Structure 1
Amino acid sequence: MAVKKSEIYSSLWASCDALRGGMDASQYKDYVLVLLFVKYVSDKYAGDPNGLIEVPPGGSFADMVALRGDKDIGEKINVIIAKLAEANDLKGVIDVADFNDPEKLGSGKDMIDRLSALVGIFNRAELDFSKNRAEGDDILGDAYEYLMRHFATESGKSKGQFYTPAEVSRIMAKAIGINAARSAAQSIYDPTCGSGSLLLKAHDEAPYDLTIYGQEKDVATRALARMNMVLHGCPTAEIWRENTLSSPHFVNNDGSLKTHDFVVANPPFSDKAWSTGFDPANDRFSRFSYGAPPAKNGDYAYMLHVIASLKTTGKGAIVMPHGVLFRGNAEAEIREKIIRKGYIKGIIGLPANLFYGTGIPACIVVLDKENAHARTGIFMIDASKGFIKDGNKNRLRDQDLHKIVDTFTRQVEVERYSRMVPLAEIEKNGFNLNIPRYIDSSEPEDLQDIEAHLKGGIPLRDIDALAPYWAVLPAVRGELFGPGERPGYAAPKVAPAAVKPAILNHKEFAAFSARVAEVFAGWRAAHGERLKNIAVGDHPKKLIEELAEDLLAHFADVPLIDKYDVYQHLMTYWAEMMQDDVYVIVQDGWAAARQIRELVKNAEGKFTETPDITLGKQKLKAELIPPALVVARFFGPEQAALEALEAKAEELARALEELEEEQGGEGGLLADGRSDKDRLTIKSVKDRLKEIKSDKSAGEERAALTAYLTLMEQEKEAADAAKAAKLALDTATARHYAKLTDAELRQLLVEDKWFAVLQADVTSELDRVSQSLTGRIKLLTERYAAPLPKLAADVEALSAKVDAHLKRMGFAW
Structure 2
Amino acid sequence: MNKQQLANKIWESANKMRSKIEANEYKDYILGFIFYKYISDVEITHLLGLGYTTDTLYEVREPVYPDPDNASAPFDDEETVKDLEEQIDNIKTDIGYFIPYTDLFSTWLELGSDFDVSNVRDALNAFNNRRIGKTHEKVFKGIFDTLRTGLSKLGGTAGEQTKAIRDLLNLIKDIPTDNKEDYDALGFIYEYLIENFAANAGKKAGEFYTPHEVSLLMSEIVAYHLRDRKEIKIYDPTSGSGSLLINIGKSAARYMGTGNNIAYYAQELKQNTYNLTRMNLVMRGIKANMIETRCGDTLEDDWPYFSEDDKGVKIEGTYDPLYVDAVVSNPPYSQNWDPDGKENDDRYSGYGVAPKSKADYAFLLHDLYHIKSDGIMTIILPHGVLFRGGEEGEIRRNLIERNRIDAIIGLPANIFFGTGIPTIIMVLKKNRINDDVLIIDASKGFEKAGKSNKLRASDIRRITDTVIDRRDVPKYSRKVNREEIRANDYNLNIPRYVDSSEPAETWDIYAQMFGGIPNIELDALSEYWTAFPKLRRSLFLARSTEYSEVTTDDIKTTVCRSDDVSAFREKYRTAFDDFSDYLYTELIEGWETVHTASEESVLSANIFKRLENISLIDPYEAYQLLDNEWSTISADLESMHSEGFEAVKQVDPNMVLKKKGNEDIEVQDGWKGHILPFELVQSAYLSEDIEKISIMESRIAEIDSETNELFESLSEDDKENPFVNDDKTAFVAAEVKKAIKAKEVSIEVLEVLKKYDKLITEQKSIAKNVKKAREDLHEKTKETIEILTDEQACEMLRAKWINRLCGELAGLPDAVVNTFTAKIQALAQKYSETLSEVDEDIRRIESELGSMLEELTGSEFDMAGLQELKKLFGI
Report the TM-score, using the length of structure 2 for normalisation.
Answer: 0.82
Q: Which residue of 1 aligns with 2:653?
A: 598
Query: 2:323 corresponds to which letter in structure 1?
Result: T
Maintained 8 Å contact 1:642/1:725: yes
Q: Which residue of 2 aligns with 1:554?
A: 610
What is the CA distance between 1:499 and its match in structure 2? Answer: 4.3
Compared with structure 1, are the counterparts of its residues 726 and 353 closer, same or farther at alpha carbon in structure 2 (3 Å cutoff)? Answer: closer
Query: 1:142 corresponds to which letter in structure 2?
Result: F
Q: Which residue of 1 aligns with 2:105?
A: 61
Q: Which residue of 2 aligns with 1:615?
A: none
Maintained 8 Å contact 1:151/1:160: no
Question: What is the DSSP-based 3-state SS (H/G/I as helix, E as strand, rest coil) of the residue aligned with 2:303?
Answer: coil
Residue 675 (structure 2) pairs with residue 624 (structure 1)? yes
Paired with 1:286 and 1:595, the residues of 2 have a C-alpha distance of 60
Compared with structure 1, are the counterparts of its residues 466 and 672 closer, same or farther at alpha carbon in structure 2 (3 Å cutoff)? Answer: same
Residue 813 (structure 2) pairs with residue 761 (structure 1)? no
Compared with structure 1, are the counterparts of its residues 757 and 354 closer, same or farther at alpha carbon in structure 2 (3 Å cutoff)? Answer: same
Query: 2:549 corresponds to which letter in structure 1?
Result: A
Query: 1:438 corresponds to which letter in structure 2?
Result: Y
Maintained 8 Å contact 1:56/1:84: no
Paired with 2:300 and 2:776, the residues of 1 have a C-alpha distance of 75
Pairs aligned (count): 785
Q: Which residue of 2 aligns with 1:490?
A: 548
Residue 533 (structure 2) pairs with residue 469 (structure 1)? no
Q: Which residue of 2 aligns with 1:519?
A: 575
Paired with 2:652 and 2:347, the residues of 1 have a C-alpha distance of 66
Paired with 1:784 and 1:106, the residues of 2 have a C-alpha distance of 75
Q: Which residue of 2 aligns with 1:640?
A: 691
Q: Which residue of 2 aligns with 1:189?
A: 235
Residue 362 (structure 2) pairs with residue 301 (structure 1)? yes
Residue 247 (structure 2) pairs with residue 201 (structure 1)? yes
Q: Which residue of 1 aligns with 2:272?
A: 220
- 1:132-531 superposed matches below 5 A: 133-178=179-224, 180-183=226-229, 185-206=231-252, 207=256, 208-209=258-259, 210-236=262-288, 237-251=291-305, 253=317, 255=319, 257-275=321-339, 279-283=341-345, 285=346, 287-370=348-431, 372=432, 374-478=433-537, 480-484=539-543, 486-495=544-553, 499-500=555-556, 502-504=558-560, 508-531=564-587
Maintained 8 Å contact 1:548/1:570: yes
C-alpha RMSD of matched pairs (Å):
3.3
Of 783, 786, 802, which residue of structure 2 is paired with 1:738? 786
Query: 1:58 corresponds to which letter in structure 2?
Result: T
Question: What is the DSSP-based 3-state SS (H/G/I as helix, E as strand, rest coil) of the residue aligned with 2:510?
Answer: helix
What is the CA distance between 1:337 and its match in structure 2? Answer: 2.7
Report the more deviating stretch, 382-391 or 112-121. 112-121
Paired with 1:501 and 1:724, the residues of 2 have a C-alpha distance of 49
Residue 36 (structure 2) pairs with residue 38 (structure 1)? yes
Paired with 2:151 and 2:3, the residues of 1 have a C-alpha distance of 34
Q: Which residue of 2 aligns with 1:582?
A: 637
Identity %: 29
Report the more deviating stretch, 627-636 or 597-606. 597-606
Residue 562 (structure 2) pairs with residue 564 (structure 1)? no
Maintained 8 Å contact 1:12/1:122: no
Of 81, 98, 115, which residue of structure 1 is paired with 2:124? 81
Compared with structure 1, are the counterparts of its residues 141 and 728 closer, same or farther at alpha carbon in structure 2 (3 Å cutoff)? Answer: closer
Residue 165 (structure 2) pairs with residue 115 (structure 1)? yes
Paired with 2:705 and 2:809, the residues of 1 have a C-alpha distance of 38
Compared with structure 1, are the counterparts of its residues 290 and 648 closer, same or farther at alpha carbon in structure 2 (3 Å cutoff)? Answer: closer
Paired with 1:365 and 1:292, the residues of 2 have a C-alpha distance of 18
Query: 1:414 corresponds to which letter in structure 2?
Result: V
Query: 1:587 corresponds to which letter in structure 2?
Result: S
Of 706, 709, 712, which residue of structure 2 is paired with 1:655? 706
Deviation string, structure 1 residues 139-177 (Cα, Å, up to 9, x no partner): 211222112222222222255232222222232233234
Question: What is the DSSP-based 3-state SS (H/G/I as helix, E as strand, rest coil) of the residue aligned with 1:552?
Answer: helix
What is the CA distance between 1:561 and its match in structure 2? Answer: 2.0
What is the CA distance between 1:747 and its match in structure 2? Answer: 0.9
Maintained 8 Å contact 1:134/1:539: no
Compared with structure 1, are the counterparts of its residues 5 and 698 closer, same or farther at alpha carbon in structure 2 (3 Å cutoff)? Answer: closer
Paired with 2:332 and 2:671, the residues of 1 have a C-alpha distance of 51
Compared with structure 1, are the counterparts of its residues 106 and 381 closer, same or farther at alpha carbon in structure 2 (3 Å cutoff)? Answer: same
What is the CA distance between 1:391 and its match in structure 2? Answer: 2.5
Paired with 1:711 and 1:12, the residues of 2 have a C-alpha distance of 49
What is the CA distance between 1:805 and its match in structure 2? Answer: 5.2
Q: Which residue of 1 aligns with 2:85?
A: none
Query: 1:309 corresponds to which letter in structure 2?
Result: H
Paired with 1:557 and 1:59, the residues of 2 have a C-alpha distance of 63
Paired with 1:266 and 1:135, the residues of 2 have a C-alpha distance of 31
Gaps of 5+ in 1: 612-617
What is the CA distance between 1:339 and its match in structure 2? Answer: 2.4
Paired with 1:525 and 1:53, the residues of 2 have a C-alpha distance of 51
Paired with 2:829 and 2:723, the residues of 1 have a C-alpha distance of 58
Paired with 1:511 and 1:353, the residues of 2 have a C-alpha distance of 43
Maintained 8 Å contact 1:271/1:299: yes
Compared with structure 1, are the counterparts of its residues 657 and 499 closer, same or farther at alpha carbon in structure 2 (3 Å cutoff)? Answer: farther
Gaps of 5+ in 2: 48-93, 307-316, 857-861, 869-875
Compared with structure 1, are the counterparts of its residues 328 and 767 closer, same or farther at alpha carbon in structure 2 (3 Å cutoff)? Answer: same
Query: 1:42 corresponds to which letter in structure 2?
Result: S
What is the CA distance between 1:417 and its match in structure 2? Answer: 1.5
What is the CA distance between 1:526 and its match in structure 2? Answer: 2.0
Maintained 8 Å contact 1:189/1:212: yes
Maintained 8 Å contact 1:69/1:113: no
Maintained 8 Å contact 1:310/1:316: yes
Of 545, 556, 559, which residue of structure 1 is paired with 2:601? 545
Paired with 1:476 and 1:286, the residues of 2 have a C-alpha distance of 62
Paired with 1:755 and 1:143, the residues of 2 have a C-alpha distance of 27
Compared with structure 1, are the counterparts of its residues 269 and 688 closer, same or farther at alpha carbon in structure 2 (3 Å cutoff)? Answer: closer
Compared with structure 1, are the counterparts of its residues 6 and 720 closer, same or farther at alpha carbon in structure 2 (3 Å cutoff)? Answer: closer
Of 46, 49, 54, which residue of structure 2 is paired with 1:48? 46
What is the CA distance between 1:742 and its match in structure 2? Answer: 0.9
Paired with 1:41 and 1:198, the residues of 2 have a C-alpha distance of 22
Compared with structure 1, are the counterparts of its residues 633 and 458 closer, same or farther at alpha carbon in structure 2 (3 Å cutoff)? Answer: same
Q: Which residue of 2 aligns with 1:5?
A: 4
Paired with 1:192 and 1:787, the residues of 2 have a C-alpha distance of 64
Compared with structure 1, are the counterparts of its residues 441 and 109 closer, same or farther at alpha carbon in structure 2 (3 Å cutoff)? Answer: same
Residue 18 (structure 2) pairs with residue 19 (structure 1)? yes
Query: 1:674 corresponds to which letter in structure 2?
Result: F
Maintained 8 Å contact 2:626/2:805: yes
Maintained 8 Å contact 2:7/2:193: no
Maintained 8 Å contact 1:569/1:761: yes
Deviation string, structure 1 residues 50-79 (Cα, Å, up to 9, x no partner): 556643333322344367767x94444222
Q: Which residue of 2 aligns with 1:674?
A: 723
Maintained 8 Å contact 1:303/1:318: yes
Deviation string, structure 1 residues 740-769 (Cα, Å, up to 9, x no partner): 0111111101x2111122133224434432
Q: Which residue of 1 aligns with 2:66?
A: none
